[in-house]
A and B are shown apart, each in its own frame.
Chain A
Amino acid sequence: MKSPEVAADVPVPGLDLDAIREFGPFRAYAQDVRVDSGVIPDKQVKTHCCFCGQQCGIELKVKGNTIIGIEPRYDFPFNRGMLCPKGVKRYLQQAHPDRLLSAYAKDSNAPSGFRRLPYEEAIRRVADEIQRIQTAHGPNAFAVLSGASLTTEKTYLMGKFAHMCLRTSNIDYNGRLCMVSAGAGNKKAFGVDRAANPWSDILETDVVLVAGANVAECAPITTNYIWQARERGAKVIVVDPRITPLARTADLFLPVKPGRDTALFNGILQLMIENDWLDHDFIARHTVGFEALAREVRAWTPQRTAEVTGVAERSIRRAAELWGTAKSSFLMHARGIEHHSHGVHNVLSTINIVLASGRIGRRGSGYATITGQANGQGGREHGQKCDQLPGGRELANPEHRAYIAGLWNMEPDELPQPGVDAYEIMRKAHAGEIRGLLSICFNPVVSLPDNNFVRAALEKLEFFVTIDFFMSETSRYADVVLPGSLQEEDEGTVTQVEGRIIRINKAVECPGDAREDWRIIQDLARALGRERGFTFQSPGEIFEELRVASKGGICDYSGVTYENIEKHDGVFWPCPSETPAGIPATSAQGTLRLFEPDSWNPIARGAGPFYFPDGKARFNVTPYVGPAEDVDADYPVILTTGRVVSQFLSGNQTRRIGPLVDHYPEPRVELHPKLAARLGIAHGDWTTLRSRRGTLTVRASVVSTIRPDTVFVPYHWGGRKSVNQLTISAQDAISKIPEFKVCAVNVVKADGPPEYATQLEPQQ
């Protein structure tokens, strides 16, 4: 067996006990003012949860500058009081002992590796380093990483900061690990990237198909929508390598072998064609490209589909029949089919069966991708992606460049050209091409695949600065850490899973030297001597500029106001401020549902409901290609990764919330009893997984709810508990999403407990 190729000069961290002692993560529990039932809150602030893309309405109870609890918000139509455990306990991240209260500078003499730094001195130092690196090596030598948990105002400012102030091509965001396959697929098929339907349409549908989405754990409130549809008689089909809580009672469960999704949907489409379960009229009037696709899928007989996907042939036939003969349907997917080196094809293969059925653009029938992060939608629209300008505009498009340059009062030629994706930024850092990096709202040391390489890349940077509210695993590699803001310490808007723009309201002030992220960015612009365009006094002012910047673009927010958001429980984009003569004005609530038969959009201009000049949707030919790394004799088991309900993303917040840690304290490897028996592994045994990139030892959870050829490990932990030491950095050619969902590993019973077992608390 080949030995793991860990970068030899960068030891796998995780046992840096002095740093952990100073910065955590430690678990916070409710105590003192938070458990005193005699305390009356000063105010209850209506806002939204800080975590996932569903953005449940929530009220925060505030006493002084401490959030002491929550109250469900029955008035917000999406969740009507429902909350998952993360929403219930999210308040414990605030007034947390681990909170960064000042700037820090790397200091090898300090036991924790860091010393405090006055804020102004920190800003000065960062600006000087940016100046130095860009002067010596050119503007592109300094890169920016941003995130989709930020408000839309901040994401707009981050894009503007990179493109206008720093003039660097190299900005990208953590949605690169999240929404980009769905986004690219939606753009290729529909010309626009947004959930096509509001969630209320799920309630009225006859068949719900959920592909690669552990809805009950990753989008818990959506479970009730799906099960209310079932109460009306809807059939539920789940595609997943594991029996998730939603799959447990599904009418049909397709246990797909990881990485074979395109084959499955090609096979279903072939059966739809064979049985003439097609909407010929819709295909003729509203689509192009069906014939070429039909030729491609002809080879996907049920037998071959079953062979490749590992799903029983009769289940594939049943799925095609349920889907093919439905009167109404709703298809939704998430990272399970998107985190692949052919993620865009997987997405397109599901869209193909939606378009072939003609069931989109009407009440009770449609399609959506389930957004991951709080602002997974808004965060991918306004210019922090490597090839993007605000309003969903393109950095490579001369007209788009001219419009934004005009607004920003600069020459189009001064705008940089498109840059590279987040992982490529790491590769360029490793190669010495990128010398400096600013990172906000991103924890790549935990969340990127093959993170031993990522650590090595960060170590090579001449200068690395992060903006963080807790000392994340990534910030521990920084030269300077600037203390940013929690969601509840600032205001703005986010766009949730349905495309609904909502208001985030401020509940408390930033503590200590910490300040709102947009102020920090503007402080940097000022220190760089380039403050023009960065003198906003409030998020509201940024939003007003964003409205103009997005006007006429696909993601048009020009008609959206904070007032209308409050008044209508959110506004759905597109919401243009004006429409051409003869076209009815968009309602104050925006566009609830895309692709309605007679709808108008700025690309088709009345030619049809889809966002192409001819108004027609595109079928895309989706040849099946297997995963980048298949199993072999040395690495005979498929590793897939994902989430658990009590943790969120890289855990920088949720691993500090005691009750959530207690629910699922440490990563475990799920494996089927058949595989466990063959390997001599019993439930609870320490088990070692090895890939070509790294090694991980965790306890085994022997469960018959996973395919026997596949093991699963959740990814929320850092250091030696991080499963992303093992995952592969293969990326989709179009979307550049990494293949988190498939790589090859070797699994053995460990000799004994790993070193961390006795030295670290579970969340550390």
Chain B
Amino acid sequence: MPVPETREFFLDASRCIGCQSCVQACAECDTHKGQSMIQLDYVDRSRSTQTLPVICMHCDSPTCAEVCPADAIKRTEDGVVQTARKPRCIACNNCVLACPFGVPKMNTRMNLMMKCDMCYDRTSVGLKPMRASVCPSQALAFGTREEIAALRPGARPVNTFQFGAQTIRTKVNVLVPKAAANEIIDVTAAMYEPPLGRDLLDDMSEPGRSPA
């Protein structure tokens, strides 16, 4: 049974608290137990506690599959981009270098590219994906568009990204403030924006005073 069409993944970076519950839960998945397919890190810890999970976005035209010389990366009919097929993967690292989101990782021990397959083994038997179930702040959520609209009245999903000249549409949605005008998230442009976060000194009574 394929992933039910009505339920989708939603990522709300503003809600990420850096707890790594998704990273830990991913490693509990039966198909790749002990190994997490999610990376999570600070954007710039020196300035903010903002963190971000890096998950496979499941592109309509996956760059990883396009650059694969061995045709090892398959996309299912319902849009799930899967881990490289073991008999085909030649561990060339093309996908690792080419993915604009930086998702695939080479498992050197197994000589195999591994990435998130959207908890295929769980969703195919009606269970919720582990990472979205556990996320304590629901930065990663899984549900129907109607459910998400009710839970996040101030946000709307976007699934188109611009990387330089390349436009990518994904199966995974990113939640942005409803007020934001953009239909496309220009990732390259965002790299030049200052990091998110407040300056603690702004809220202090004597910000100019030297410490101690």
Contact = CB atoms under 8 A, between A and B. Distances in A.
Contacts of B151: 228, 231
Among B25, B46, B205, B210, the one with the most A-chain Cβ atoms within 10 Å of its Cβ is B205
Contacts of A309: 205
Contacts of B201: 708
Contacts of B133: 72, 74, 81-83
A227 B15 contact: yes
Interface string A646-665: 10000000000001100100
B87 interface: no
A68 B212 CA distance: 51
A620 interface: no
B54 to A, nearest CB: 16
A15 to B, nearest CB: 30
A704 B134 contact: no
A249 B197 CA distance: 7
Contacts of A246: 17
Given A227-B137, A244-B49, A248-B198, A85 B15 contact: no
Contacts of A631: 212
Interface in B115-172: 128, 130, 133-138, 151-154
Nearest to B40: A663
Contacts of B128: 72, 74, 81
A675 B211 contact: yes
B27 A659 contact: yes
Interface in B37-53: 45-51
A248 B200 contact: no
A672 B33 contact: no
A307 B14 CA distance: 33
Contact of B211 (A217, A672, A705): A672
Interface in A667-688: 672-675, 678, 683
With a 10 A CB-CB cut-off, give which of A34, A84, A217, A678 has the most chain B CB atoms.
A84
B204 A224 contact: no
Interface in B16-74: 16-21, 23-25, 27-28, 30-31, 33-34, 45-51
B78 interface: no
Contacts of B206: 310
A87 B45 CA distance: 25
B77 interface: no
Interface in A226-247: 227-228, 231-232, 243-246
B134 A88 contact: yes
Nearest to B29: A37
A313 interface: yes
B202 interface: yes
Given A72-B134, A84-B19, A227-B137, A307 B49 contact: no
A705 B25 contact: no
Chain B interface size, under 10 / 10 to 19 / 20 to 34 / 35 or more? 35 or more
Contacts of B21: 83-85, 87-88, 220
Given A84-B21, A673-B46, A709-B212, A30 B34 contact: yes
A528 interface: no
Nearest to B51: A245
B199 interface: yes
Nearest to B134: A83
A69 interface: yes
B203 interface: yes
Size category of the A interface is: 35 or more
A87 B15 CA distance: 20
B33 A704 contact: no
Contacts of B45: 701, 703
Contacts of A223: 15, 17, 136-137
B19 A704 contact: no
Contacts of B23: 85
Given A88-B134, A216-B137, A255 B204 contact: yes
Contacts of A307: 205
Contacts of A754: none
Given A217-B17, A248-B49, A678 B210 contact: yes
Interface in A76-114: 81-85, 87-89
A634 to B, nearest CB: 12
Contacts of A602: none
Contacts of A249: 14
Contacts of A617: none
Nearest to A228: B151
A494 interface: no
A82 B207 CA distance: 39
Contacts of A254: 203
A707 B25 CA distance: 34
A701 B134 CA distance: 29
B34 A705 contact: no
Contacts of A34: 33-34
A217 B17 CA distance: 8
A67 to B, nearest CB: 12
Contacts of A85: 19-21, 23-24
Contacts of B205: 306-307, 309-313
A216 B138 CA distance: 12
B138 A645 contact: no
Interface string A50-89: 0000000000000000000110101000000111110111
A683 B46 contact: yes
B34 A663 contact: no
A220 B19 contact: yes
A253 interface: yes
Nearest to A253: B203
B146 to A, nearest CB: 15
Considering residues A221, A232, A245, A707, which has the most beta carbons from chain B within 10 angstroms of its beta carbon?
A245
Given A84-B136, A705-B49, A231 B17 contact: no
Given A85-B19, A311-B203, A29 B130 contact: no
A243 B197 contact: yes
B80 to A, nearest CB: 19
A37 B31 contact: yes
Contacts of B136: 82-84, 216, 220-221, 223-224
Contacts of B27: 30, 659
A674 B210 contact: yes
A35 interface: yes
Interface of A: 29-31, 34-37, 69-70, 72, 74, 81-85, 87-89, 216-217, 220-221, 223-224, 227-228, 231-232, 243-246, 248-249, 253-255, 306-307, 309-313, 315, 631, 636-637, 645-646, 659-660, 663, 672-675, 678, 683, 701-709
10 contacts: A30-B27, A87-B134, A88-B24, A246-B17, A248-B196, A631-B212, A703-B46, A706-B200, A707-B200, A708-B212
Given A82-B136, A245-B17, 5 more contacts: A84-B19, A88-B134, A223-B136, A227-B137, A672-B200
Q: Sorted from nearest, which 10 A-B pairs have the closest CB atoms? A: A220-B136, A708-B211, A216-B17, A245-B17, A306-B205, A636-B212, A81-B133, A35-B33, A83-B134, A88-B24
